[in-house]
Structure 1
């Protein structure tokens, strides 16, 4: 946008950040161009897509607390141990205090999908350890949180960052914006 404003100082050029529920703003003529990631959130009929670069994907994960450092006093005495028995089931105290066994409580995830309205809501669920997400590596919103780290995801196609405009748009600034985006953003 700065390059376009510098090259065309008399033009009225405005930036507008869209939410995913505003994906129809381009075909609906509320905006003239989008810089977005593919796959597109809208049908690409009647649109011109100019790919700027490929972007790998990553997975935000909860940041684990640093492990406690415990010294070993007699390393020569360490022996491998057989794996311990499975962890006991979660239990709560049973009624009475005698020989009655405690009642068993199972912990299981809630059924059905977790609903999150915004990207930030999704990151909150990931940080809480209740979900896994795959996001574009260039989306810095997940790296701005101290409670998340990102790890690269291999074996999945990258998304693409692209300029999308209406096909056949005769506005000369649209073509110049696409040119500016290629010059400034293409890798």
Structure 2
């Protein structure tokens, strides 16, 4: 075979390149043909065509099987690279092509409808899905690609995530309607120093929502162990405990036997958008933009004096 007989590399057929790599790995035309679901004579013809296009003999066959020629050994790693690059190119093209899809998670008491509607309006070809998550599910849902973005309240572990602060939400004290503090305009920590608060199973949540330990280092009075903040409603209504909850939970609007009281001297909680660090999907970026513009909390608009924090973790 004369080198001038070779066609330029642009004429390569990736199917032929794949056939060659399978034969090279199996070192046997019969086994390779079975894997490729082609007949052995057809495979032999395809390999000869590739050799003509390369301009060199790539494989030798004898009684022991098939072996690479020096030219074949030199060609094999490049053949594998060609196939890998082609697969990556196809995957990236599919990801960029319409229709595209994004799934947004949200935790209890947080409204994401305005941002979702804007995304659907501006990207009508996209599939935009929403799903409710418990706070304990946020990380697993993101890293398991069940969702692409989550609107949730801190605190939760943020390593490996990009966190965009959307707005701050006051924390309030939730008490029974006949509690001694019901009707107060606001309460301070001293007012509830001896009040038992339900314990949460996650140490970070428990510390944050019960203020445990207190600023002076003393432990918060223990209440019953619960799974979620919402599980405390019956305990509170029966007078067994009080609880610090986010104002957006609006428990007193669905439970007439409960009332919420503003807390004085308590830092608000932060409502954030969490995505995987390094996420570059255009739909995720578009939802982030919509969320920053529109999600500001019911009755608690975000200040326009400073842009919300946006940080990788």
**Higher RCO (C-alpha under 8 Å, 6+ residues apart):** 1
Distance in 2 of aligned mates of 1:147 and 1:133? 14
Q: What TM-score does the superposition give when structure 2 sets the normalisation length?
A: 0.42
Deviation at 1:142, TM superposition (A): 3.9
Deviation at 1:113, TM superposition (A): 4.7
**Structure 1: unaligned runs, 5 residues or longer:** 66-111
**Structure 2: unaligned runs, 5 residues or longer:** 1-115, 180-221, 297-301, 303-313
Distance in 1 of aligned mates of 2:150 and 2:239? 33
Deviation at 1:29, TM superposition (A): 1.7
Name the counterpart of 1:63: 177
Higher Cα Rg, which structure? 2
Q: Report if aligned partners of 1:143, 1:150 keep a CA contact under 8 Å in 2.
A: no
Tell whether 2:277 aligns with 1:167: yes
Name the counterpart of 1:38: 154
For residues 44-71 of structure 1, the C-alpha deviation after alignment (integer angstroms, 9 at most, x for no partner) is 1121111111111101110129xxxxxx
Tell whether 2:170 aligns with 1:52: no
Q: 1:181 aligns with which of 284, 291, 303?
A: 291
Name the counterpart of 1:2: 117
Distance in 1 of aligned mates of 2:265 and 2:165? 21
Aligned length: 139
Tell whether 2:199 aligns with 1:125: no
Name the counterpart of 1:29: 145
Q: What TM-score does the superposition give when structure 1 sets the normalisation length?
A: 0.69
For residues 30-55 of structure 1, the C-alpha deviation after alignment (integer angstroms, 9 at most, x for no partner) is 11001011122xx2112111111111
Deviation at 1:124, TM superposition (A): 1.2
Q: Report if aligned partners of 1:123, 1:142 keep a CA contact under 8 Å in 2.
A: no
SS for the counterpart of 2:235 is: helix
Distance in 2 of aligned mates of 1:11 and 1:121? 37
Q: Report if aligned partners of 1:59, 1:153 keep a CA contact under 8 Å in 2.
A: yes
Distance in 2 of aligned mates of 1:141 and 1:60? 8
Name the counterpart of 1:114: 224
SS for the counterpart of 1:131 is: coil
Distance in 2 of aligned mates of 1:124 and 1:10? 45
For residues 145-184 of structure 1, the C-alpha deviation after alignment (integer angstroms, 9 at most, x for no partner) is 1000100111121101111111111211000000000111
Name the counterpart of 1:154: 264
Distance in 1 of aligned mates of 2:230 and 2:276? 30
| Closer, same or farther: CA 27–185 of 1 in aligned 2, 3 Å | same
SS for the counterpart of 1:13 is: strand
Q: Report if aligned partners of 1:33, 1:165 keep a CA contact under 8 Å in 2.
A: yes
Q: Report if aligned partners of 1:62, 1:128 keep a CA contact under 8 Å in 2.
A: yes
The alignment's C-alpha RMSD in Å is 1.7
